[in-house]
Amino acid sequence: MIGFVLLWVGAVLTLNGLWLMGRIGDREIAVINIFAGGIAFLAAVASAFRSGAEITGEIAFGALVLLFAFTYLWIAINRIFQLDGRGLGWYSLFVAITAVPIGIEILMGAQKAWDWWLGLDWLAWGVLWFFYFLLLVPRRLTANFVGAVTLLEGILTAWLPGYLILRGHLAV
């Protein structure tokens, strides 16, 4: 399921990056955020609540994917209702603080290339969520800069690996 989720996370991050750089309209970006947020939500719930799910496996996967799903759904709501995003900024700080130790834990137990990649991804996503906090709450970063980082992370941490996993070119 991770390849499926990563492909859509890559799509939404890539398009959100373009939106932050002014290449997609505010209301139009809500479409991909609703869709990708909904897909991530369904994948998370299906994983976490399936029969026989274990806390360290499927339930943990579901809980962590919900961090992404809720982010995208919140972005969509902010764009549809033209909200200022400060609440999303504070949520992003919460997620950043959650993501960094996840990345560190994965790296500390890394044994395969996939483990190293996933640990580094969580650290990169933690930095990205922290950048969203800095953009939306104290307003210390520009949308253009955060958009470029979002675009780059969307391609490298999600879209490309999701595609490679789905096509059988990357083993997890």
Mean pLDDT, residues 51-68 taken together: 83
Neighbours of 84 (CB within 10 A): 10
pLDDT score of 67 more than 70: yes
Neighbours of 107 (CB within 10 A): 15
Query: pLDDT category, 53, cuts 50, 70, 90?
Result: low
Question: Residue 55: what pLDDT?
Answer: 67
Number of residues that make up the chain: 172
What's the Cα-to-Cα distance from 34 to each of 8, 38, 59, 122, 134, rounded to whole Å? 11, 6, 23, 23, 24
Please tell me the class of the 2-166 domain: mainly alpha
Is residue 23 helix, strand or coil? coil
Report pLDDT digits (tens) over 70-94: 999 999 999 999 999 999 999 999 9
Residue 129 CA to residue 102 CA, distance in Å, equals 14
Of 107, 108, 109, 126, nearest in space to 118 by CA:
107
Report pLDDT digits (tens) over 20-52: 999 999 999 999 999 999 999 999 999 888 767
Own/partner long-range contacts of 47-53 (Cβ < 8 Å, ≥24 apart): 47/1
Question: Residue 48: what pLDDT?
Answer: 84
Residue 102 CA to residue 59 CA, distance in Å, equals 15
Query: pLDDT category, 60, cuts 50, 70, 90?
Result: confident
Report pLDDT digits (tens) over 101-125: 999 999 999 999 999 999 999 999 9
Residue 172 CA to residue 164 CA, distance in Å, equals 10
Report pLDDT digits (tens) over 138-168: 999 999 999 999 999 999 999 999 999 999 9
Of 1, 116, 115, 7, nearest in space to 62 by CA:
1
Contact status, residue 149 vs residue 116, Cβ threshold 8 Å: no
- Between 135 and 56, whose confidence is greater? 135
